[in-house]
Structure 1
Amino acid sequence: MKNLAKILFVGLAALLIASCSTVLPVAGATGRVGSKTGEATQKFVFGFPLKGEGGIYQAAKNGGITNVGTVDIRIDYPASPALAAFYFVVTTVVHGE
């Protein structure tokens, strides 16, 4: 019974920790931060794309960028740990000229 309680506690703690925003750097750009910024957002349900176009091309197009300097990906999970595994939003942020 104590082992089951420990497993449930660790599982709940993992769900609570997962409910946050994460930013990841992406390789392939020049590394120079430009004066322009563009973002593209895509929503996912059960790991499948639901709405939006979240690629680098769309983010650069939204920001009017022709020469990409840096690319970051932000993953936003809902505040509720119960929904974190089912729904999340991926935002691609592009800086450049």
Structure 2
Amino acid sequence: MSDLKSILVIGGTSAQGSSVVKALSESGSYSVRVLTRNSASDQAPKLAARPNVTLLQGSQDNQKDLHSAFSGIYGAWVNLDGFTIGEKSELFYGV
């Protein structure tokens, strides 16, 4: 697994994000780290059961969580949820 490039997915339990996680997992080229607010949500365990997918519980609007999530990452797919964190935070953390 060390030869796989690590991709962070923020928003991985969403409709779009779960499809991205599935595609990355099935490619066999990436290990996927999914930042999720709730690792026990309906969608999160389904993602964690996929090959090369791990969950990291944390928040998309917490800098400490983001620093942990991005540690050792090759690339990222980010889909911030403005409805959850608010438009101001979505813009701030997006930048």
Question: TM-score range, shorter-chain basis?
Answer: under 0.3
Give the structure with the higher percent helix: 2
So what's the TM-score if we normalise by structure 2?
0.25
The structure that is strand-richer by fraction is 1
* Structure number with larger C-alpha Rg: 1
Relative to the length of structure 1, the TM-score reads 0.24
